[in-house]
Amino acid sequence: MPLTHRRLVIATLFFSALLGPGTVRAESEQQRLVDRARIVVDEFLADPNFGRMRVYVQNAYAVIVVPDLLKGGFFLGAEYGKGVLLARDIRSGAWSDPVFVELIGGSIGLQFGGKASDVIFTVMNQAALDKILTSNFKIGTDASVAAGPVGAGVGAATTIQFGEDLYVFSRGKGLYGGLSVEGTAIIVKSDWNNRYYGQPVTATAILKERSVTNTGSQALKDALARF
């Protein structure tokens, strides 16, 4: 083995040992979630049934994208889903980098059975976003929620009255009959945020101050900007 290559291998092994076996895996898992969220956004954009969703995203203060909500194990009370929360600058329309969140408990579940559902929540006011960033936030208790309009041929130019704090749009996979999110807790995953940005960072710093960034989220932000 050439000396230069040998040194490179030794250095790689050294830094892998220094970081620990869980760090690389965790970062990879976070980026995979961001990439999956981008795919979900692209699929909503391409689906004519969600044409009217555009005006909700365009007026939202934030969105929460949750790929494969309820995928497996929910009868046992396991974790229901992980997602990403991004805030929109009301003046410029630019999207922030993501904050990682998890959705747990409550009465969340498929009403008539099913396998999984990709879900996007639109957060329609600053007060609701601020509540999500506090602890013990629950949908339906700390903020009102309603299903977003779905259906081909529904015009996006229709005058909209955003009477709820959150709207939920879902694309089911397999047999699907509806989604219930009342009582679901949305919890910020601070450990994932710290690993993804390489330093301790609060959700407020990511969404409002925009003091950190990760180039791995640019494709997701670009997808949201196409709404």
Domain ranges of the chain: 3-225
pLDDT recorded at residue 159 = 52
The pLDDT value given to residue 67: 93
The helix/strand/coil state of 30 is helix
- Contact in structure between 104 and 81 (CB atoms under 8 Å): no
Cβ density class 153-192: b for 16+ within 10 Å, e for less: eeeeeeeeeeebbbbbbbbbeeebeebbbeebbbebbeeb
Contact 70/116 with Cβ under 8 angstroms?
Answer: yes
For 179: left if phi > 0, alpha if psi spans -120 to 50, otherwise beta; the answer is beta
Q: pLDDT at position 58, please?
A: 95
Residues of the chain with pLDDT below 50 are 3-26, 72-79, 110-114, 154-157, 174-177
What is the pLDDT at residue 160? 67
Residues forming a β-bridge with 7: none
Residue 157 and residue 213 in contact, taking contact as beta carbons nearer than 8 Å: no
CA-closest candidate to residue 97, choices 204, 189, 185, 199: 204
Q: Name the β-bridge partners of 12.
A: none
| pTM of the full structure | 0.80
